[in-house]
Amino acid sequence: MSSAPLLAVADDPPVSLWRDAWGRLIRNRLAVAGLVMVLVLAFAAAFGPMLTPYDFLSQNLDARNAGPSLVHLFGTDDLGRDVFSRVLYGTRTAFVVAIVVTALAVTIGVTLGATAGFFGGLFDRIIMWFTDMTMSVPNLLLVVVINASLKAPLSQWMETQYLATLNPFFRETIWIDFLLVFGSMALIAWPPYARLVRAQVLSIRSRPYITAARALGLTNRIILTRYVVPNAIGPLIVSVSAGLGTAMVLESAFSFLGVGVNPPTPSWGNMISDGLRVWQHYPHLLAVPAIVLGLATVAFSFLGDGLNDALNPRGSK
């Protein structure tokens, strides 16, 4: 009589932090809505430009500034380019920038934050001083200085390489834009990750299993990579999910101001900048990219809040 309950208990899946977190996440309707929107945007970024009937650069001067219709779902701009195709390609631009910038920022932040928190002392003071100095510099000023200082020399270098090799790759100036955007945005995005990881490591390094690892003679590198950083990853995931949305907004803001991704490559920021000049006559040119950017921001915000509640259930109550 008593063996059946015991077998049922034995057959139950083991308790898992990530399984429990996933269960809490999918019960959060706003988080699920954010996740669905993020997945839709990711699909549009990956495959959308391949499915549109128009190239994002193709022009039709006879159909300039046309309103939304069955032929052009979001209308056309002042050069007769299909806005729907450009928005989809702008989604790809936003995702590429967000993923690369966040990956670079997380790598720098985790490395410096874990080093500062684990070793402490002089390492901690120097790294935190550098972090505070970076955070004290206005983001826009730093990006403008980097772009103004490096864009002309890089463009000249690429032109020189083209003349020497006749390789058409060196005529693609979009790579300069991406390089400067990736570098400048990563430089302003890593300090929050470093602070977060440092705080987590400071609370983890005195745990009994860290003391046991030291007693076993494990090296600092092994302790950091196998025990410290993996146990600090939960809050970092929440921060990364929010950081992806922030990176999209920053890229759009910098492109809007002319220091990000420049035309003819579509970006939500430069599309909003172009639409702002004629929004009174052709409101769709401003409304469409602005709405898509707003939806992306809201989606990542919902997803980030849901992940925070799922991974930190005590803090959400």
pLDDT in tens, 44-89: 888 877 878 788 888 888 888 788 888 888 888 888 888 888 888 8
Model pLDDT, residue 155: 82
pLDDT the model gives residue 317: 46
Mean pLDDT over each residue of the chain, to the nearest integer: 80
Q: Is the pLDDT of residue 316 over 60?
A: no
Q: Ranked by mean pLDDT, which of 11-20, 123-132, 140-149, 298-307 comes out on top?
A: 123-132
Q: Looking at the domain assignment, is residue 169 inside a domain? A: no
* pLDDT score for 315: 46
pLDDT at position 313 is 52
Q: Is residue 11 part of a domain?
A: no
pLDDT at 206 over 70: yes
Q: How confident is the model at residue 14 (pLDDT cuts 50, 70, 90)?
A: low
pLDDT band with cut points at 50, 70 and 90 for residue 9 = very low
The reported pTM is 0.79
Locate all alpha helices (DSSP H) within the chain, ordered by sequence.
Answer: 3-11, 17-26, 29-51, 83-119, 121-136, 139-165, 174-204, 208-215, 220-223, 229-231, 233-256, 268-276, 284-311
Element containing residue 280 per DSSP (H, E): none
CATH number where 47 lies: 1.10.3720
Number of domains, the chain:
1
> What's the pLDDT at 169?
77
User: What's the rounded mean pLDDT across residues 212-239?
Assistant: 78
Asked if residue 210 belongs to a domain, the reply is yes
Q: At what angle do helices 83-119 and 29-51 cross, to 10 degrees?
A: 130
- Residue range 100-117: average pLDDT? 88
Is 93 inside any structural domain? Answer: yes
Burial 202-219, CB ≥16 within 10 A → b, else e = bebbeeeebeebeeeeee
Query: What tokens appear for 101 in the block?
Result: 């910038």
Give the domain range for residue 102.
Answer: 37-127+190-311
What confidence score (pLDDT) does residue 16 get? Answer: 60
User: Could you give phi then psi for residue 232, rounded to 5 degrees?
Assistant: -100, 10
pLDDT > 70 fraction of the chain, expressed in percent and rounded:
92
CB of 208 within 8 A of CB of 126?
Answer: no
Residue 146 lies in a domain: no
Residue 8 has pLDDT above 60, yes or no: no
Pairwise CA distance, residues 244 & 97, whole Å: 9
pLDDT at 194 over 80: yes
Instruction: Answer yes or no: is 99 within a domain.
Output: yes
Q: Is residue 200 part of a domain?
A: yes
User: Is residue 283, in this structure, part of any structural domain at all?
Assistant: yes
Q: Which residue has the higher pLDDT, 316 or 34?
A: 34
Max mean pLDDT among 206-215, 287-296, 306-315 falls in 287-296
